[in-house]
Amino acid sequence: MKEWLYKCTVQRLVVVISSIENNEVLERWQFDIECDKNAKGESAPREKSQKAIQDEIRSVIRQITATVTFLPLLETACAFDLLIYTDKDLVVPEKWEESGPQFIANSEEVRLRSFTTTIHKVNSMVAYKKDSFP
Amino acid sequence: MGDNFFFFFFFLVEHQYTSDCSGCFTDNFLCISRAMEDLEDNTTVFSTLRSFNNFISQRMEGVSGQAVPASSQSSLQIQYQQRVQLEEQAGQIHSKSQLLQVEREKMQMELSHKRARIELEKAANTNARNYEREADRNQELLTRIKQYQERETEAENKLKEQMEMNKSYKKSMETMSKKLQEKESKLAEANETITILKGKISELQWNIMNQEMQMTSQDSQKQELMEQLDVQHKKWQEATQQIQTLQASQSLLAEYEQKIKDLEQKFSQQEHDAVIVKNMKTELARFPKMERELRQLREENAYFREMKENNGLLKEEVEGLQRKLERYEKVQAQLVTAELENEKLLGKLKSWEKLDQSTGLNIRTPDDLSRQIVALQQRELVLKEQNSTITNSARILEKARQQLQEEILQIQSQLLDEKKKREQHEALVRRLQKRVLLLTKERDGMRAILESYDSELTPAEHSPQLNRRMREAEEMVQKLHAHNAELEVQMSQVLEEVGNQKQRAEMLEVEMKVLKSRESTAEQSTFITKEEVDALRLKIEELEAERSKLEEQNRSLEMKLEKLTMQGDYDPSKTKVLHFSMNPASLAKQQRKEEQQQLQEECERLRELVRVLEAGGSIHGNLEGVGSFQSPQEVAELKKQVESAELKNQRLKEIFQTKIQEFRKVCYTLTGYQIDITTENQYRLTSIYAEHQGDCLLFKASSSSGGKMQLLENEFSRTIRELIELHLLHQDSIPAFLSALTLELFSRQTIA
């Protein structure tokens, strides 16, 4: 994963929570990664303190924990899966395989905060299945 | 000193010249030498003796012009030679006079000489002896010296050894001293440390004392504090008691406050109620008025309702009338417009009718007009074609004109170049003419100078002046030439610049003319371009409308894209989705599948078991076949249990059978009847004393529990009818009947 980030081949990271019984996707956490490809060529390091980056990450994690207020309860037994959206021409390593995008059919989307390290920018959002009973 | 020696010797020579005895000389020399012992050492004396002998030998040989022993001073030698010659001359004169004296003295001298010789020999002997003694002494002394030297060397060696020893001892001493010093220093340090430690000990003791003092003071403080603590404790208890009382009083206060609040609320409510009562009173006072008003209002209400209905109707009528009014107004307006149009049309018609009169054509009907229009259109088409051809030709002509203008420009530029060249050439010509003039002038000047030269060749006095003048003149001429050349160069440069400027100016004028001509042509073609401008404006508007539409489409598409990306869409041609093969969701699915399969298998096994159990087959075999999922331990246990239960059952059965048989036998022997169960409720009794084997009584249980029995009719019961009637019908007692029967049969047996 570190290699892929360094080479800017990762476009998106998705955590999919689906129920075990019927394999229906209940929640979908999506993190878009925008990479600045010129950063490898530049020799001067970017001016952003690690503390500032950690503050931004902290606020994103707080937001994620706060999503419990509006996300619907998961009452069935669930399992999660990690999907990585990469460039088409990337060599698929062992133990990894291609899969589908695992959309949610009737979804509500909420966009969360983003944070940036001046080389990568990460946008986060959560999509959950709209309850049929409002 | 050497010179003195020489002079001294020479004076001696003067005096002793007469005597030719070398030995005398040597004796005298010895005396001299003795006398001069205090002078320098013997070596110099012996050297001077040698030189003197040489000189003497030389003197003996001759006088004049002898080689003097090597002496460095030449002038002195010359003077000396002169003197010697003089002296020799004088000496020769004197010598002769002295010869006689000398011969006289010679005799005396010989005598004295002999005496002296003897003395001298004696002295020599003594001297030789002394010398020998002294030589011996010398040798002794030398030996002694040697001994002493040897001793000295030994002593020196010893000294050296001693010195070395001394040095070694010194070194050892030094080392020892160093060690001593170190030890002393260590001792000093130790002493210092001891002193320091003593000081520390004293300090510590002092500290201990201080701390003991502090301890005692602190103990006293502690006691005081304990006392204070007790006091405080007591105070605290009192305070707690007070607090409790205060809390109780506070609670009471709170209750009272609540009561007060309640009372206040009640009071306020009562006030409100009082106010309300007052209002109510006032209102009540108003009541009859209100009733009257009510009646009036109801009447009015009814009236108003009627009015309202009327109003509604009227409003509808009004609305209808308004609509009609509007319509009529519209119609009127239309009428007015129609009349205006009518007038206009009439006017147009009249004008159209007048056309006939105005245009002078035969136009009475619209057909004629249309025909005229068609004709006009045809003419227009023709004219347009002509126009287009004319415009084409105009464009072609314009192009030709532009080409011609360009050619003109080129030609003009060439002309200018030619002019410039011509001017340059003219300037060159002028310069050359000027040069020529100058050269001619020079030539004339030179000729004049030459002529002057020719005329004035003879005076040589003026030649230098003339030469100078010539030179000056030549120099002036050269300077003038150089100046001239520079001026000509500058002139040429300036002329070239002027030519360039003129060329540029003429070019600019030509361009200006061309631009002016172009402007004039452009003005002519403005109205042609206006059409193009309008067309372009229309195009621009259309394009802007398209652009706005495209922007809206773009926005909507972007929104859709955003929504899709939010949902997780991706571009399959550029990205792909990867996930771990062994990811938790698939693992959970697999587990689920396995569980399901297991559960299904269990289910099937259990169903088979149930079927088997219902069928009642042996459990063991089926268990073995079906219950494979059960552990073999459980199977063995269950088998054991089953076997034990079966054994118990069998044992119980055997025991029951034996007991039953026993009981039946006992009953048979005690009661005399064997009771057998034939069918469900029928009992067969055979007596012990029965005459025939088939004699039996059949009883049937009327109730299920067997409380009431009924006798059934058979052959044997017919034989004992009397007994049956007596015991069963009359007495209604089966035991009496049975016992009577046994008695009778027994009596029959015994009798028979």
Query: What pLDDT does B66 receive?
Result: 42
Can you tell me the distance from the alpha carbon of B412 to that of B238, in angstroms, rounded to the nearest whole number?
132
CA-to-CA separations, B102 to B16, B31, B32, B98, B695, in angstroms, rounded: 10, 20, 21, 6, 241
Can you tell me the distance from the alpha carbon of B28 to that of B288, in angstroms, rounded to the nearest whole number?
209
Can you tell me the distance from the alpha carbon of B612 to that of B605, in angstroms, rounded to the nearest whole number?
10
In B142-233, DSSP assigns E strands to: none
Q: Does A6 touch chain B (CB under 8 A)?
A: no
Closest alpha carbon within chain B to A105: B567
Dihedral in degrees, nearest 10, Cα atoms B603, B609, B613, B614: 50
Give the minimum alpha-carbon distance from B579 to chain A in angstroms, rounded to a whole number: 5
Q: Which residues of chain A have pLDDT under 50?
A: none
Cross-strand pairs, A123: A32, A114
What is the layout of strands, in order, in the sheet containing A78-87? Answer: A96-98, B575-580, A78-87, A10-19, A25-35, A120-129, A107-116
Kindly state the DSSP code that residue A90 receives in the 8-state scheme. P
Contacts of B584 in chain A (CB under 8 A): 79-81
CB contact under 8 Å between A101 and B568, yes or no, is yes
Burial class (CB in 10 A: 0-12, 13-18, 19+), A85: buried
- Whose tokens are 């007009």? That residue is B369
Contacts of B586 in chain A (CB under 8 A): 81
Query: What pLDDT does B462 receive?
Result: 62
Which pTM was predicted? 0.30
Query: What pLDDT does B19 receive?
Result: 47
Residue A131 and residue A60 in contact, taking contact as beta carbons nearer than 8 Å: no
| Dihedral-angle region of residue B198 (phi above 0 means left; psi in -120 to 50 means alpha; beta otherwise) | alpha
CB contact under 8 Å between B583 and A81, yes or no, is yes
What is the C-alpha radius of gyration for chain A, rounded to an integer number of angstroms? 17
CB contact under 8 Å between A87 and B585, yes or no, is no
Contacts of A15 in chain B (CB under 8 A): none
Number of helices (H), then strands (E), belonging to chain A: the values are 2, 6
Of A125, A87, A122, which is closest to residue A8 (Cα–Cα)? A87
Single-letter amino acid code for the residue at B64:
S
Q: B384: which 2 tokens? A: 């347009």
Can you tell me the distance from the alpha carbon of B403 to that of B514, in angstroms, rounded to the nearest whole number?
12
CB contact under 8 Å between B577 and A80, yes or no, is no
Give Cβ neighbours of residue B749 (< 8 Å, ≥ 6 apart).
B689, B691
Please tell me whether residue B705 adopts helix, strand or coil conformation: coil
Query: What pLDDT does B222 receive?
Result: 93
Query: What pLDDT does A48 receive?
Result: 75
Residue A85 and residue B569 in contact, taking contact as beta carbons nearer than 8 Å: no
Query: What pLDDT does B525 receive?
Result: 62
Query: What pLDDT does B393 receive?
Result: 95
Dihedral in degrees, nearest 10, Cα atoms B425, B431, B436, B440: 170
Q: Chain B window 573-632: which residues touch A at a Cβ cutoff of 8 Å? A: 573-589, 592
Q: B12: which 2 tokens? A: 């001696």
Q: Does B735 touch chain A (CB under 8 A)?
A: no
- Helices marked H in B672-729: 715-719, 721-723
In B64-133, DSSP assigns E strands to: none
Query: What pLDDT does B21 receive?
Result: 43
Quote the ipTM score. Answer: 0.76
Query: What pLDDT does B10 receive?
Result: 53
Q: Which residues of chain B have pLDDT under 50?
A: 2, 17-25, 31, 33, 35-36, 38-40, 62-71, 622, 627
In a mutational test of the B interface, the residue from A28, A96, A111, A128 whose CB has the highest number of chain B CBs within 10 Å is A96
Burial class (CB in 10 A: 0-12, 13-18, 19+), B698: middle
